[in-house]
Structure 1
């Protein structure tokens, strides 16, 4: 991975982007470390607790890798170790680093930690936080999006697909909108560069299903089926 440095400390391998975080240590991957320094600026609940902190004038996101589904109830944060380059943290950091170099609207990966114990590993990742952004799900709970923003969402997805980037969990929670109405995509765990074309339509259908799901749960959700066409107009346009 270009620009990504690596060091081993005991059972842990640390990966880091020197231009984003300096003097990276194992302690930095603990939320308590940032709380003790009074640098935590927020938290979010998902499968676990995501911690937002500030360092060197930048805002970052600290996320611990956790499993979902039934297996997550048994092995909440453990994964079979088959080599460093097969770990989820290494792969996500590599993919984000590559996409960022292509100019795609994704957050930069600052650092990751892989801790190996026998046949299994646990992992954490630190990402640069997108400034003053919120996910589109939250936006749509308060107001509708304009046709131009929906077109931009479609165009951004097309940019990824043109680079053969498969987003494993393309849903309305993983699309962000910043204060300038710029669209970003997040959460690239288990995502990859994938050959072929057939999966791209299925990827778009996943996003459509997530919109329908939220609309069914909340009839006042500011989205209508007819607005999907705006997204598709952006996806198929080469001018946006």
Structure 2
């Protein structure tokens, strides 16, 4: 389910080994990003995958491979398909009213057969990821409300036909009002309709992530957190419960 860049509000320009895809509503971006240097300044945003800040309202992250392969390939990609898919899924979820940081640009630097890719998104001010929040608010009863709202967010993503293959506790960002946003959609896929198996797989992966950090004694999960998560998911009439 692909859309053209122009229909999503983006344009593409290239100069030597650099390609930049950017929002046409932000015409200042090429002057900021058409170089091979590090984008922005290191940030102290708590809990986030390492990002750089571009004043006044942008963050940049460099895409890297995960797992064991990440130690070998690092930030080198043979294809740009992953970042293009992330851009499209992000724009689609935004159009569906699902809270996710808007992608403002994607910078691609070609080095031989490889691509080094940076994704520049709109900054969600005064935000923290769910893992860090739970570390700093151990046993907080309001966490149950956050888990219920997170369940509702996951349901909305699923009802939009989007499957997140790597949903974990650090992919949930809480804004200054402690409302959840979904992050890092480079492993998300869009379908016309999302079936039971992929819905359950997403929920199980997220639940496993929460339990993993709890077992490491990095967080203390409130009692009934999982019930709150499922209640949030089911509250709009979804009939099935997704047991691990």
The TM-score with structure 2 as length reference comes to: 0.83
The answer for the alignment partner of 1:50 in structure 2 is 51
How many pairs are equivalent? 225
**Worse overlay, 105-114 or 147-156:** 147-156
In 1, Cα distance between equivalents of 2:46 and 2:117: 18
1:84-163 matched pairs, under 5 angstroms? 86=81, 88-143=82-137, 144-146=140-142, 147-163=144-160
In 2, Cα distance between equivalents of 1:140 and 1:44: 12
Cα deviation, residue 34, structure 1: 3.3
CA contact (8 A) 1:175 1:185 kept: yes
CA contact (8 A) 1:131 1:178 kept: yes
Q: Does 1:177 align with 2:174?
A: yes
Q: Secondary structure, in 3 states, of the residue corresponding to 1:141? A: helix
In 1, Cα distance between equivalents of 2:168 and 2:68: 21
Q: Secondary structure, in 3 states, of the residue corresponding to 1:90? A: helix
**Aligned CA distance change for structure 1 residues 131 and 178 (closer, same or farther; 3 Å):** same
The superposition leaves residues 120-154 of structure 1 with CA deviations (integer Å, 9 ceiling, x where unpaired) of 22211101111211011111112225233221110
CA contact (8 A) 2:18 2:36 kept: no
The answer for the alignment partner of 1:18 in structure 2 is 24
Q: Secondary structure, in 3 states, of the residue corresponding to 1:107? A: coil
Q: Secondary structure, in 3 states, of the residue corresponding to 1:238? A: coil
CA contact (8 A) 1:153 1:183 kept: yes
The answer for the alignment partner of 1:210 in structure 2 is 209
Cα deviation, residue 18, structure 1: 2.6
1:3 to 2, 9, 16: 9
In 1, Cα distance between equivalents of 2:110 and 2:181: 32
Q: Which runs of 5+ in 2 are unaligned?
A: 238-244
The TM-score with structure 1 as length reference comes to: 0.84
Q: Which runs of 5+ in 1 are unaligned?
A: none
The superposition leaves residues 14-41 of structure 1 with CA deviations (integer Å, 9 ceiling, x where unpaired) of 100132462414446743x535xxxx65
**Aligned CA distance change for structure 1 residues 140 and 198 (closer, same or farther; 3 Å):** same
Q: Secondary structure, in 3 states, of the residue corresponding to 1:13? A: strand
